[in-house]
């Protein structure tokens, strides 16, 4: 299979061949071209038609590595090659194929979008967003690329908001005076649990269907806080587990 160094060697070899061609007399170059047999694409293209990933890997790989392969045929082989790797969950190798396709023809919006989806799958969100943007620039009507760009932009916005509150509880740490509150402020994990508990409880109270239900929910939470404050620090008291149990209870009540 191809890798970075091999691609570099191929590129150097192609450059050398091009230079040699320039140095030859025109009639000699023409005679050489007349004697070069056409590249046989049948095996690769047959494997593509048959959806045979094993043969695509071998036959199309050989076609890709053949320096005499026409650009259009190489692009078709590379695209199928990438698809075979993707179906095997070999994402990095599929991306490498798409990289080569775009070096051959940087005007292919569909390939930019396809590579962007792979970057997104790998968690490389900035690279994915750049590829979706490139696809849209090339083809403003590319509906899938536009949808991907919008979804990823919203995801990045949400992640940014989460990062802004990460490790912060549902109360102000500067004014915390109880030992349990200071312990929560000192632990990002406990702070995140507290913030989630506060958010889900507030949602439940806000969605209460009657004043009586709202009052009962508030009383239940006040009782939880009172027990937490009183029992924290006692032998065997596990604050993290108590908070996890409380969150699970609230989520169950919320129907999630």
pLDDT of residue 163: 60
Distance CA 66, CA 59 (A): 11
pLDDT of residue 8: 37
Domains of the chain plus CATH, in order, are 1-105 (no CATH), 109-165 (1.25.40), 173-254 (no CATH)
Distance CA 23, CA 20 (A): 5
pLDDT of residue 253: 66
Distance CA 3, CA 9 (A): 10
Report field, pTM of the whole predicted structure over 0.85: no
pLDDT of residue 63: 87
Kindly give, in sequence order, each residue whose CB lies less than 8 Å from that of residue 97, ignoring residues fewer than 6 positions away: 78, 79, 81, 82, 85
Distance CA 224, CA 222 (A): 5
> Average pLDDT per run of 10 along the chain, which is 256 residues long?
40 38 41 57 91 90 90 92 91 94 95 94 89 93 92 77 65 87 90 88 88 93 94 93 93 66
pLDDT of residue 105: 95
Residue found under tokens 């593509």? 48
Residue found under tokens 């989460």? 162
Whether 95 and 119 have beta carbons less than 8 Å apart is answered as yes
Tell me the three-class secondary structure of the chain, residue by residue: CCCHHHHHHHHHHHHHHHHHHHHCCHHHHHHHHHHCCCCCCHHHHHHHHHCCHHHHHHHHHHHHHCCCCCHHHHHHHHHHHHHHHHHCCCHHHHHHHHHHHHHHCCCCHHHHHHHHHHHHHCCCHHHHHHHHHHHHHHCCCCHHHHHHHHHHHHHHHHHHHHHHHCCCCCCCHHHCCCHHHHHHHHCHHHHHHHHHHHHHHHHHHHCCCCHHHHHHHHHHHHHHHHHHHHHCCCCCCCHHHHHHHHHHHHHHHHCC
């Amino acid at each position: 299979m191809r890798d970075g160094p091999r691609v570099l060697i191929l590129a150097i070899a192609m450059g050398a061949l091009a230079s040699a061609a320039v140095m030859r007399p025109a009639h000699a170059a023409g005679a050489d071209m007349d004697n070069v047999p056409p590249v046989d694409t049948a095996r690769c293209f047959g494997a593509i038609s048959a959806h045979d990933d094993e043969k695509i890997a071998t036959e199309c790989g050989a076609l890709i590595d053949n320096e005499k392969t026409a650009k259009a045929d190489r692009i078709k082989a590379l695209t199928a090659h990438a698809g075979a790797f993707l179906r095997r969950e070999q994402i990095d190798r599929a991306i490498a194929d798409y990289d080569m396709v775009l070096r051959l023809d940087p005007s292919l919006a569909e390939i930019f979008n396809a590579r962007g989806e792979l970057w997104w799958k790998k968690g490389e969100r900035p690279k994915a967003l750049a590829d979706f943007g490139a696809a849209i620039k090339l083809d403003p009507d590319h509906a899938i690329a536009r949808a991907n760009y919008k979804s990823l932009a919203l995801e990045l916005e949400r992640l940014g908001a989460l990062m802004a509150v990460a490790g912060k509880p549902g109360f102000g740490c500067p004014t915390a005076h109880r030992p349990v509150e200071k312990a929560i402020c000192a632990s990002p994990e406990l702070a995140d649990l507290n913030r989630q508990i506060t958010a889900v409880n507030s949602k439940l109270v806000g969605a209460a269907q009657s004043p009586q239900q709202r009052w009962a929910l508030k009383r239940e939470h006040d009782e939880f806080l009172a027990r937490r404050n009183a029992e924290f620090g006692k032998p065997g008291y596990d604050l993290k587990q108590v908070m996890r149990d409380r969150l699970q209870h609230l989520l169950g009540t919320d129907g999630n």
